[in-house]
Chain A
Amino acid sequence: MHLTFENVDQFCADVQCEEDDPIIDLSRITFFRPFSLVYLGMFLRYHNSNGKSFSVLPPIATKARKYLSQQQFWERFNFDPKTMVPADLTQFSNTTSLNDIIDIEHRSYIGEDIAKQVFEILRRKQVKINIGLFSVMISELIDNFEYHSQSNLAVCAMQYYPNLNRVVFAVGDCGIGIKESLISNPNNEHLKELSEHEIALKSFEPLVTRMHEGGMGLTEVREGIIEMGGRLTCSTGIGYVIISQKEEASGNMAHYLPGVQMELSVPEVA
């Protein structure tokens, strides 16, 4: 079973969180898409910060189990993020491959730092996408975490699938989410009545922002993903958004998770 954007919300909804020692059963998972890793990680962090810890049944499939182990998935997420000191964060480094999960701390220029390193990694690997545009989109997503999430820690994961000729980047936090952020601006009073997924979709329109200036970052992300023939998936609270050349859709997730979790999936050009 692959864990992806399409099923990770239901997977989390099925965890019996009201029990004393809820079990996360990953035994049947054979493959983790970056979005699902980020979503599951934020699910753990959110509940940990509310005093809940989990037991886990690891994947039976060797590759999936080794992958989680290499990424120190449980050590990384099964803690209260407020207790994490910056020195313990795992940052991009020159030796970082395309397959690592990376913690993102809340600090100035974190967006451009991550974008620069993504740019260098993709160029070094000679990945055939518009690397500059992709890196700009990533910087916009991480800037949004820095400026709007009101949380101190996010996470990103990037994967390159050479056999599928595709690059996937996911980023997520468990902050205040898109709706609460946008309606904190009095100019957005009229958005209050909209659902989370309707507001999330609106946030990709020009000049829709929490601040007095700006409101172009997500617009550029939307246009970029369409131009590159890719697919964007985003969840925030109970809402989701999907954007690609073929579709622009929004609706409700099966599970409520605070913050914003987003994935960019882009095909290589021939």
Chain B
Amino acid sequence: MDNEYRLRDLPFPCISRIRGKSAALQVLERVKQSPLHIDMRDVDMLSMSFMDELVFHLAASANMRNVVFIIDDQVLLNKLAHIADIRQININYKFADEQIKRLEHKHFTPSGV
């Protein structure tokens, strides 16, 4: 994949909304050129706040269909599924050598809100 963005190469840890927004700005530049694979594997610390902020900016700019998240474990998949539900969006993902799949959001209603 030519257009690939590796979170493990970032010079900062992937653990806050501020960092998620920084990554999102870089990703938005890259995804303008061609569809983008965001490699989430082998990252020491990767928080849901970071991922949610990244996804939020991609969705807000209508770029979700041009992005595929590469993952390697069920924990990451669960986090992506959670974000898909909460944000009411569809997320493309793939395990390393598998086909691209799509997480389709369910109808999520936070209790009490």
Contact = CB atoms under 8 A, between A and B. Distances in A.
A115 B12 CA distance: 12
Interface string B53-97: 100100000000000000000010001001100100000000000
B45 A135 contact: yes
A167 to B, nearest CB: 16
B16 A139 contact: yes
Contact of B46 (A108, A109, A132, A213): A132
Interface in B21-57: 43-49, 52-53, 56
B99 interface: no
Contacts of A214: 17, 49, 52
A116 B112 contact: no
Size bin of chain B's contact surface: 20 to 34
Contact of A208 (B44, B46, B56, B113): B113
Nearest to B48: A220
A112 B110 CA distance: 28
Contacts of A217: 47-49
Contacts of A206: 82, 86, 108, 110
A30 B80 CA distance: 45
B47 A220 contact: yes
A202 interface: yes
A136 B113 contact: no
Given A191-B112, A205-B111, A206-B110, A216 B13 contact: no
Contact of B110 (A109, A135, A207, A227): A207
Contact of B15 (A111, A187, A191): A111
Interface residues of A, number: 29
A111 B112 contact: no
B19 interface: yes
Given A135-B45, A136-B47, A143 B113 contact: no
B15 A207 contact: no
Given A135-B45, A140-B49, A227 B16 contact: no
Contact of A202 (B12, B86, B112): B112
Given A132-B44, A136-B45, A214-B52, 20 more contacts: A109-B16, A109-B18, A111-B15, A112-B12, A133-B75, A135-B44, A135-B45, A136-B46, A139-B13, A139-B15, A140-B49, A205-B111, A206-B108, A207-B110, A213-B17, A214-B17, A214-B49, A216-B48, A216-B86, A220-B48
Closest 5 CB pairs of A and B: A220-B48, A136-B47, A207-B110, A139-B15, A216-B48
28 contacts: A108-B18, A109-B18, A111-B16, A112-B16, A115-B13, A119-B44, A132-B43, A136-B15, A136-B45, A136-B46, A139-B15, A139-B16, A139-B45, A140-B15, A140-B49, A143-B16, A205-B110, A205-B112, A206-B82, A207-B110, A213-B56, A216-B82, A216-B83, A217-B47, A217-B48, A219-B48, A219-B82, A220-B47
